[in-house]
Structure 1
Amino acid sequence: MTSQRLVKWLILLLMLAAAGCAVAGCMPIGLLRPLGAILRRPDDVTPERYARYLHVCWFFAAAFGVAAFLVRRFRRNIEEYIRACREETREPIVAEIHERRYYLLTLLLIAVGLGLRFSRLFDPMAYDEAYTFLTYARRPWIIAIADYNALNNHLLNSFLMHWSYRLLGDAEWALRMPVFLVGGLTLVVASRWSRQWFGPRESCLVTAMVTVSPMMITYSANARGYMFVAVTTLVLDAAMWRMHCYPARSARSALIAWCAIVAGCLSMPIMLYGVLGCCGWYFLQPFFDRPLLATVVRQRATILAVLLASSGLVVMTGYAPAYIFRGLLIAGDLASPTQSGGPFLTQVGLNWAAAYEWWTAGAVPTFVWLPLAIVGLIAWPATTDLKLRWVAPFAAMFLLNLVMGALPPTRVYLFLAPWFYLAVARGITTLLDLVPDWSGRGVLLTGLALAVAGSVYTARHTVLFDPAERTSYVSIRELIDRLEEEVTADPGNADRLIAPLPSDLPAVFYLDQAGLPIPVNGEPQEGETVWLITRHGESPADVLTSPLVQLDEYVDRLAPWKSVAAFRTLRLYRSSMD
């Protein structure tokens, strides 16, 4: 199909979309109630949701109409862009003979990384991924992406988890398959992205660090959206760099950048950090050139305007069902209340320190990483574009935190890990270059040592990092299996399980999987057998009086607790409400 015909089809589709949205905006609420019954129930169509539905219809009618007009107005430019995409070729990466050993090691590291991530596919469900499945992914897919009642609903992950569940079942590995594939893709993208900066030596080391990073391994087998953001940010940055270096041959790179922005923003709103950082350095870099070329600035401003406006329209389309169903309910979650300058800046510093601990968790001591990163930054090339490109994502996150008064959880900083690893890799190669005979062999030995040490660490540790949060999940599957045996052996009783956070939702997941209709938490009723989960070192009274369970009055009302079974991280107790 010629570029002219493609543009005509695009104009036609945009006009049909605008007309369809306008027609939908004219539908009365009475005609929409049967649609609510098809999706879930008729009373879902409320006056408030109908009003938001009209907002969406008329907004997109106008947006698609304007888009159709602009495509027609600039159709010659778009036709030229399509032709450029078709004609553009990429030079294959040709490895010099002395570089082939680095590529072989990189392939080995990617294989090791896939194996380490695969080994975690079968771990018991954690709290957040159990929440995602129970609240969103097991429901009809339109409800899964529309019920956006919290930032915990990572839309793209929820959507893919839903279809993985429909196709493969509710086993842990099946629900985690989308994020596992994305985690494996991150290994490949990180190796290509880091080679783009310096060369195969740094690429080999960055790949080794990503391969064995406990944080990266864990979130590559944790059914959440963080790895989606990590890989799309890397892809976006790599595409922006190619657009910067080869402006005359950047048509496909612009398309790749567009896809990365759309996929990342549909995964999680925190992709805005990466978009601001990557697009920011691309736009600002010409201002550091001498002489300043106004034509370059205008060209980049135009490219970014088209890129962000078109991708933003698609992203808003993805979030439109959530706005209709929930409105702006989650707006209050986007930022915590602004605090006074001193304490807030202190908390920001603590957040970055916690992120550093997560990036450097594992077999290598934490104190080793920072000096190597400092050496790498000191030895960083003097070119402004490389300096600005490296610092931009960190600066974007820091500035947005200050402006919004936001204190994101530590896991949000995951996508910045490859940038930190790149500085460390530069530091290692700088030190190895001091001994020329070891500049090549040292990289190979360091990469192999990281792979071996990381593999041993992963094999020996059930919880790879953040044990205070993740230890409870280790035994929850075994505990529910034992509870099923106990309940099956005495089927005549009504049962209730008291499960403190963060064991409650994983317990619900495994109870549902086992087909046990046992309520979790809530007030015990007369005649019920009450089961209770504690961590080691806790007593049943500690759980009952905890802020999240709040059953203080039942400490003395329940029969004496009997220890039923002890597991690696949890203990199961039994009592009754007579």
Structure 2
Amino acid sequence: MKKHYPLIEISGLAVIGCILYIFGRLHFSAAFFGKIAPHPLWTARGPMCDLFFSVWGTIFIALALSAFFSHRRKSGTLAAKITDWSRLLFSEAVDLLKWTDSRTQFRREWAWIGAFMLIGAGIRVYFAFQPMRFDEAHTFLQFVNNGALYLFSYPAPNNHVLHTLFVKLSVTLFGTGPFAIRLPSIAAGVLCIPAVFLLTRLILKSKESGFFAAALTAVLPYFILYSSMARGYTILCLLSICLAIAGLRLAEKPNLPSCFLYSLIISLGMFDVPTFLFPAAGITLWTAACMQINGVRLKDIAAGFVAPCAAFSLAGALFLYTPVIIASDGVSHIISNKFVKAKPWGFFLEKLPEHFAQTGNQMALGLPPVVLILLFIILALGLLHLSRLKNQQGFWLAPIIFVCSFIILLAKRSIPFPRTWIYLPLFALVAMDAGYCLLAAKFKEKGKGVLLALSLAAAFVTAVQDPVTINPATGYFPDAQKVVNYLSTHMKKGDMMVPHGHNSDATTEYYMYRAGLPNVENEHDLKKGATIFYVTKKGFFPENKLGPNPTPSFETEDAEVFAVVYGEDAPGAAAD
């Protein structure tokens, strides 16, 4: 057994706390970090760093006092308690995996699930080489490739921090190509396939269950779209499913280590995308309902589950967001940016139907009306079947999460992006799987082979029809690489590329970075005779710069480039 030294622990915590507190109070942060990682942004972020050093210094001093009184009471050192809790948490995670495997017989089904994962991975990798989109190009240029501090910067909802950290790791290992940037999202999307299978099997408790849900997760174009772009939504989906699985375990065996593990998933989800609040709240309410179904009293649910999970989740989120708050100079960009500010009730209610219509259209991406109707019929049959089986966990899963999300939406009174609700179909898949099992009961083992063949066919059709590449979600300027290929042969040192909106800026700048093209950032730095290349979506040229009828020097199906010699060409003239 490892020996712990209380006096060293107490003095160490106290010294660290005093150093941090004094460091913050004397305002050394900007100068200190400026020497370690030089960047002009440290001057602006210095006061926030000072505040956090003071806060964490106070926390360490409080821990030192706690360790001192614990030593006086002979109740063990803080290090010993942390070690014990770490072992307990690890043991709980292992127990959760063993419990999941014993309930789902996953190891017996690994070949089938592996086949569905292979199909899902194949179609996602196929679309991983589509043109870069605005949001993911902006994420790479602004956050991943712009210094350590920017990894945590949150000037707008574009930075999904946990995902950004994974992207940084991926590009460090595999380079800066589109596939490397998209690899974390692809991996999370593929892992959603077995995760959905496990959740479905745990709820339906049938050896035929889970395969239909896994198949749809693998081949639905909506999931493929967000798995093949570098955004944090597939990580959000994966953590949502893991949270529901942990909730099932908690409902069966409530204890504090399980609550801590459950809260850790919530904290990581919030660190990925703050809108993880939506699925987390719904799943927590559903978990509480499952506990009551299992006979746990309401007061025990509140005291033994809701309260500790809320406390642990809040503490975890605050800890993880410490560097984000420093890099973003406060919490205003996180909790009160223009995308999340409450809107007047009239405006909000007026936009709500349009928002729901856009969300439905996105979720139905690439699905013929007949298939869509069939899926709704299977969903209705599944809910009916669950009701007849008195499987309340499965019956109430999607409705509770949906209603809770809607209540939070009303409370926030802001219209989110339609992709915010990407997690909702995943939980509807559980009821769909129940409906499919009801219809395919006679097929048994043959049903898996048929389902696998249909999944392969669906992936092939999606690849051929390609509803993914042409979808404009998260910013679409598909001809950016063609534009840069043109610029590579015409642009010289001292020239300037000026994007003109319509998602042309980050996407074109990304491919210019990949091509190593120089670019003057400020027009004031241009010299006479230099060329300005205006890059724009076709038909949306800057008339104030080029006149009413300019002639493009280069054009594609979707883009135009106007080359103007600085200081010589009159508005509307073009140079090649």
Shared fold per TM-score greater than 0.5:
yes
Shift of 1:390: 2.9
RMSD, matched Cα: 3.9
Sort the Cα spacing of 1:532 and 1:424 in 2 relative to 1 into closer, same or farther, 3 A: farther
Instruction: Specify every segment of 5 or more residues in structure 2 that has no aligned partner in the other structure, as ranges.
Output: 570-576
- Tell me which residue corresponds to 1:20: 16
2:250 is equivalent to residue 243 of structure 1: yes
Q: Assess if the C-alpha contact under 8 Å between 1:336 and 1:407 holds in 2.
A: no
Question: How do residues 390-409 of structure 1 correspond to structure 2 at under 5 angstroms?
Answer: 390-409=398-417
Equivalent residue in structure 2 for 1:414, among 408, 415, 422? 422
- Tell me which residue corresponds to 2:52: 56
* Paired letter, 1:323: I
Sort the Cα spacing of 1:29 and 1:151 in 2 relative to 1 into closer, same or farther, 3 A: farther
Deviation string, structure 1 residues 207-244 (Cα, Å, up to 9, x no partner): 11111122222222211111111101110110110121
* Paired letter, 1:327: G
The TM-score normalised by the length of structure 2 is 0.81
Sort the Cα spacing of 1:49 and 1:15 in 2 relative to 1 into closer, same or farther, 3 A: farther
Question: Does the residue aligned with 2:336 lie in a helix, a strand or coil?
Answer: helix
Question: How do residues 373-388 of structure 1 correspond to structure 2 at under 5 angstroms?
Answer: 373-381=379-387, 382-388=390-396
Q: Assess if the C-alpha contact under 8 Å between 1:138 and 1:165 holds in 2.
A: no
2:328 is equivalent to residue 328 of structure 1: no
Sort the Cα spacing of 1:149 and 1:398 in 2 relative to 1 into closer, same or farther, 3 A: same
Shift of 1:136: 0.8
Deviation string, structure 1 residues 117-176 (Cα, Å, up to 9, x no partner): 11222222210011111111112223321x221121111122222232233221112222
Question: How do residues 226-305 of structure 1 correspond to structure 2 at under 5 angstroms?
Answer: 226-247=233-254, 251=257, 253-254=258-259, 256-287=261-292, 293=297, 297-298=299-300, 301-305=303-307
Q: Find the aligned partners of 1:394 and 1:12 in 2 and give their Cα distance.
A: 52
Q: Assess if the C-alpha contact under 8 Å between 1:102 and 1:204 holds in 2.
A: no
Q: Assess if the C-alpha contact under 8 Å between 2:174 and 2:180 holds in 1.
A: yes
* Paired letter, 1:23: I
* Paired letter, 2:348: F
Equivalent residue in structure 1 for 2:161, among 142, 155, 174? 155
Instruction: Specify every segment of 5 or more residues in structure 1 that has no aligned partner in the other structure, as ranges.
Output: 546-551
Equivalent residue in structure 2 for 1:348, among 330, 337, 352? 352
Give the paired residue count: 545
Question: Does the residue aligned with 1:543 lie in a helix, a strand or coil?
Answer: coil
2:377 is equivalent to residue 371 of structure 1: yes
2:424 is equivalent to residue 424 of structure 1: no
- Tell me which residue corresponds to 1:564: 554
2:366 is equivalent to residue 362 of structure 1: yes
- Tell me which residue corresponds to 1:514: 515
Shift of 1:13: 7.5
* Paired letter, 1:347: K
Q: Find the aligned partners of 1:492 and 1:143 in 2 and give their Cα distance.
A: 28
Equivalent residue in structure 1 for 2:479, among 475, 479, 502? 475
Shift of 1:499: 3.9
Q: Find the aligned partners of 2:163 and 2:380 in 1 and give their Cα distance.
A: 36
Q: Assess if the C-alpha contact under 8 Å between 1:496 and 1:521 holds in 2.
A: no
- Tell me which residue corresponds to 2:178: 172
Q: Find the aligned partners of 2:427 and 2:228 in 1 and give their Cα distance.
A: 22
The TM-score normalised by the length of structure 1 is 0.81
Shift of 1:430: 2.9
Sort the Cα spacing of 1:471 and 1:352 in 2 relative to 1 into closer, same or farther, 3 A: closer
Equivalent residue in structure 1 for 2:29, among 28, 32, 35? 32
* Paired letter, 2:331: L
Sort the Cα spacing of 1:356 and 1:226 in 2 relative to 1 into closer, same or farther, 3 A: same
Sort the Cα spacing of 1:346 and 1:464 in 2 relative to 1 into closer, same or farther, 3 A: same
Q: Find the aligned partners of 1:209 and 1:472 in 2 and give their Cα distance.
A: 26
- Tell me which residue corresponds to 1:549: none
Q: Assess if the C-alpha contact under 8 Å between 1:337 and 1:406 holds in 2.
A: yes
- Tell me which residue corresponds to 2:320: 318
Equivalent residue in structure 2 for 1:454, among 432, 453, 459? 459
Shift of 1:484: 0.8
Deviation string, structure 1 residues 161-201 (Cα, Å, up to 9, x no partner): 22322332211122222222222222221222222121343
